[in-house]
Amino acid sequence: MVCLLAKQILLNNFLSDLPSLAISTDNVDEDQTRMPRHWDIAFVRRFMLTFGIVSSFFDFMTFGFLIFVAHATAETFQTAWLIESLITELAIVLVVRTRKAFWQSRPSALLVWLTAGTFLVAVATPILPYAAWFGFVPLPLPIMAGLFAITIMYLIASEATKHWFFSGTHAGTRHGKSTHHLSTDPRNRLSHPFPARKAPVADNNKSGHL
């Protein structure tokens, strides 16, 4: 069984990229803009591994549901996987765009509209005019219910993982102090990219005396 055909993968990538066009317009939480910070590749690596494991777990859960519970045919599997992968991609963008709970941070209007539009297209894909050409078929209600249940569990798990990841213990520490949380104390602004300007030193050779 092939997870997705080439043309289905292209459609998946195209639709999932649409909300990304609005990322540059997104609102940023105030506590993330109080002072500059440097890129931390080790932090990015830990972030990728942590959320990648969560995502992979739910991928396998979806595979298991479709193969062993729903006994899906190839066409049903491909249709369900396109819908599931799209809506979970939309969900994770809303989760990881903020360190707060996702419902406490308001995304930009354009991001909201593109995300909502892509969600509707993804869910309606099996009944849209192009469905047959892509090889998609209408899904039975129990399969749709199962997909939405898995998506909700993935959303909850990702939100819980984010809370754990950004907690003081697991956010990544260096010399006993967190390197990823902002500080409003000027004495702690050691990561500022611009060095302090040194006071001018008098040069006795240029004092004006002969």
Using one digit for the tens of pLDDT, what is the confidence trace for 25-60?
A: 999 998 888 888 888 899 999 999 999 999 999 999
Using one digit for the tens of pLDDT, what is the confidence trace for 142-177?
A: 999 999 999 999 999 999 999 999 986 454 444 344
Using one digit for the tens of pLDDT, what is the confidence trace for 57-83?
A: 999 999 999 999 999 999 999 999 999
pLDDT at residue 3, rounded to an integer = 83
Pick from 116, 118, 108, 112: which is nearest to 25 by CA?
108
pTM over 0.75: yes
Burial class (CB in 10 A: 0-12, 13-18, 19+), 203: exposed
Over the chain, what is the mean pLDDT? 84
Greater confidence (40 vs 189) lies with 40
What is the rounded CA–CA span in Å between residue 136 and residue 79? 5
Q: Strands 177-178, 173-174: parallel, antiparallel or unpaired by DSSP?
A: antiparallel
Burial class (CB in 10 A: 0-12, 13-18, 19+), 162: buried
